[in-house]
Amino acid sequence: MEKNNTPLLELRNIQKDFFGNQVLTDINFTLEAGQVLGLVGENGAGKSTLMKILFGMDVIRETGGYKGDVLLNGEKMQFNTPFDALKAGIGMVHQEFSLIPGFTATENILLNREPIKKSVFSEVFGERMDTLNYKEMDRRAEESIKKMGVDIDSKMVVSDMPVGHKQFTEIARELSKENLRLLILDEPTAVLTEREAQALLDSIRSMAAQGIAVIFITHRLQEILSVCDKVIIMRDGYVVKDVPAKETDVREITRAMVGREVKEGGNAAREVRDHSDARTIMSIRKLWVDMPGEIVRNVNLDIKEGEILGIGGLAGQGKLGIPNGVMGLYDAGGTVEFDGKAIDLNNPRKCLDAQLAFVSEDRRSVGLLLDESLEWNVAFPAMQIQNKFLKKIGFFTWRDEKAIANVTNQYIDELKIKCTGSAQKARELSGGNQQKVCLAKAFALEPRFLFVSEPTRGIDVGAKALVLEALRKFNRESGVTVVMISSELEELRMICDRIAIVSGGKIAGILPADHSSEEFGMLMVSQVK
């Protein structure tokens, strides 16, 4: 690894905001050719936004661009599309595979860059009528597989491959691009077995030895320490630490990742109550949930009556799978007992009948009827499950429009939902107000137990506080047990009594909420899959 005077990549004063929400503030770092950089940070730290800037994704341009400079070999670069980035020699392997299932590894590696043989037709009908040079394709594919350093079958069709090999095919594809100088790997080992992960690390080392710089994004701190030259930790849009890997350890990295200074006059009334004497109202054993992207493997959890329990953890580790699995929205197995009685899984109706309620993290797809009025949204579950807001005329039960309007207006007032009236279509409200509608919907059911998943996602700061306060008030006044799932640790620490951390699809640990962020951080990275 030579050290030139100008680094391969330099980021200077990068700033990015999404409509006033500052996501990246003054990012600076350099990367030399052949260096491996480990990029670490919680969700929301800004890692993916930074990579989107580097890779020229449309969403950056569409939301007002960015400030600061990206320099490649000392030259200022402006990437407007991923193809600009590709041309400049930057490659990226995303978490979701971008492969054609029915093609072989070779065909995928060379997709849209296949070597061709000129044919007679191309003179008349254009260059796409040239035939593929299969021999040359095989040769190039084999070459890039060798460059990668992991042996995969180039003739195997992708849909037949084990998951790990799909990942390697993607990497081989990037390597087959001749001008590749910088490769970004986004959580590459999430789907690999132990052995495959080791093979990948070897492959990264060999790529670096060939002069390719690598940015390695992962939560697996051990891997970072074993293969990276330097580590950059991001938090809340800042680079909080930029240190050679040799000079740091897991503890220090975690501290940098999650540690926050106590805010002046923060949420003063934060009381952490002890519910260890209360009875266990819900008991979850051996829960597994097949929720794509948030798989739960083996969760055992006891929830105390009347508490506010927080569930946190890094993205993709399974925390969202827990409420979705218990409430029957995704395929699940295991046992759940509520108030002494067993609850059937895979049956949303049974959960709602048992007076459990759920505010989903997916407002738009699951939480709301966007094209219907607020009245419909608020009253619907209560109407269907508990026969509320209905009146009997003759043999039939009709909608009681007046009662529905009343209850909707009641919640509009209580939760201060900003709208033109209870008849407004849900689609027209802002994110924060839509979330309040979802809460109202759950409250209208007068549940005995409430799961709330990512309640403040995509909401502006002002509305966030209101939503959290509404939840806390609900718990204090009615004694309803609340389980809140959130990727924002600080939020959980603000209103929860205890916080459980999910890592690798299992509960890594439960601590009272007043423990330090660092302790929670350690739990988060402990069994990362």
Site for other proteins in 105-134 (CB under 8 A): 107, 111-112, 114, 116, 119, 121, 127-132, 134
Is 193 near other proteins (CB under 8 A)? no
Least separation in angstroms between CB 260 and other proteins? 30
Least separation in angstroms between CB 13 and other proteins? 30
Name residue, tokens 């929830």: 303
Residue 108: φ, ψ to 5°: -70, -40
Choose between 39 and 351: whose C-beta lies nearer to other proteins: 351
Among 71, 156, 390, 511, binds other proteins (CB under 8 A): 390
Site string for other proteins, 64-83 (x = CB under 8 A): ------------------xx
Distance, CA of 35 to CA of 37 (rounded, Å): 6
Least separation in angstroms between CB 377 and other proteins? 8
For 202, which DSSP code? H
Closest CA to 454 of 320, 315, 351: 320
Least separation in angstroms between CB 361 and other proteins? 12
Least separation in angstroms between CB 419 and other proteins? 5
Choose between 363 and 498: whose C-beta lies nearer to other proteins: 363
Choose between 133 and 206: whose C-beta lies nearer to other proteins: 133
Least separation in angstroms between CB 132 and other proteins? 6
Least separation in angstroms between CB 127 and other proteins? 7
Kindly tell me the burial class for residue 151, based on how many C-beta atoms sit within 10 Å of its own C-beta (0-12, 13-18, 19 or more). exposed
Among 279, 418, 473, 476, binds other proteins (CB under 8 A): 418
Choose between 18 and 134: whose C-beta lies nearer to other proteins: 134
Report whether 424 contacts 349 (CB < 8 A): no
Choose between 45 and 426: whose C-beta lies nearer to other proteins: 426
In the range 312-341, which residues lie near other proteins by CB under 8 A?
327, 329, 331-333
Report whether 214 contacts 9 (CB < 8 A): no
Choose between 29 and 288: whose C-beta lies nearer to other proteins: 288
Name residue, tokens 């980021």: 11
The residue range among 34-42, 197-205, 254-262, 390-398 that interacts with other proteins, by the rule CB under 8 A, is 390-398
Choose between 103 and 238: whose C-beta lies nearer to other proteins: 103
Choose between 128 and 263: whose C-beta lies nearer to other proteins: 128
Kindly tell me the burial class for residue 71, based on how many C-beta atoms sit within 10 Å of its own C-beta (0-12, 13-18, 19 or more). middle
Least separation in angstroms between CB 84 and other proteins? 12
Choose between 148 and 332: whose C-beta lies nearer to other proteins: 332
- Our measurement of the distance from residue 348's CA atom to the centroid of its chain's CA atoms, rounded to an integer in Å, reads 24
3-state secondary structure of 481: strand
In the range 420-439, which residues lie near other proteins by CB under 8 A?
420, 424, 428-430, 433
Q: How many residues bind other proteins (CB under 8 A)?
A: 71
Q: What is the DSSP string of 149-194?
A: T----TTSBGGGS-HHHHHHHHHHHHHTSTT--EEEEESGGGG--H
Name residue, tokens 């390719």: 212
Closest CA to 453 of 369, 359, 378, 366: 359
In the range 247-306, which residues lie near other proteins by CB under 8 A?
286, 288-290, 295-298
In the range 217-256, which residues lie near other proteins by CB under 8 A?
none
Kindly tell me the burial class for residue 378, based on how many C-beta atoms sit within 10 Å of its own C-beta (0-12, 13-18, 19 or more). buried
User: What's the chain's Rg over C-alpha atoms?
Assistant: 26
Least separation in angstroms between CB 388 and other proteins? 10
Choose between 80 and 420: whose C-beta lies nearer to other proteins: 420
In the range 347-366, which residues lie near other proteins by CB under 8 A?
348-349, 351-353, 358, 360, 362, 365-366
CB-based contacts of 244, cutoff 8 Å, min separation 6: 229, 230, 231
Choose between 137 and 480: whose C-beta lies nearer to other proteins: 137
453-486 burial, b for 16+ CB within 10 Å, e for fewer?
bbbbbebeeebbebbbebbbebbeeeebbbbbbb
In the range 441-480, which residues lie near other proteins by CB under 8 A?
none
Kind and range of the H or E run holding 398: strand 396-399
The residue range among 25-33, 246-254, 259-267, 417-425 that interacts with other proteins, by the rule CB under 8 A, is 417-425
Choose between 198 and 424: whose C-beta lies nearer to other proteins: 424
Choose between 179 and 384: whose C-beta lies nearer to other proteins: 384
Choose between 517 and 527: whose C-beta lies nearer to other proteins: 527
Closest CA to 423 of 439, 401, 440: 401
Least separation in angstroms between CB 312 and other proteins? 22
Report whether 234 contacts 243 (CB < 8 A): no
The residue range among 27-35, 99-107, 236-244, 483-491 that interacts with other proteins, by the rule CB under 8 A, is 99-107
The residue range among 38-46, 61-69, 247-255, 384-392 that interacts with other proteins, by the rule CB under 8 A, is 384-392
Least separation in angstroms between CB 160 and other proteins? 14
DSSP strands (E only) in 291-383 = 296-304, 308-312, 331-338, 341-343, 356-359
Least separation in angstroms between CB 277 and other proteins? 31
Residue 450: φ, ψ to 5°: -130, 125
CB-based contacts of 82, cutoff 8 Å, min separation 6: 55, 56, 57, 92
Least separation in angstroms between CB 163 and other proteins? 12
Where are the alpha helices (H) located in 354-507, listed in sequence order? 374-386, 401-414, 431-444, 461-478, 489-495
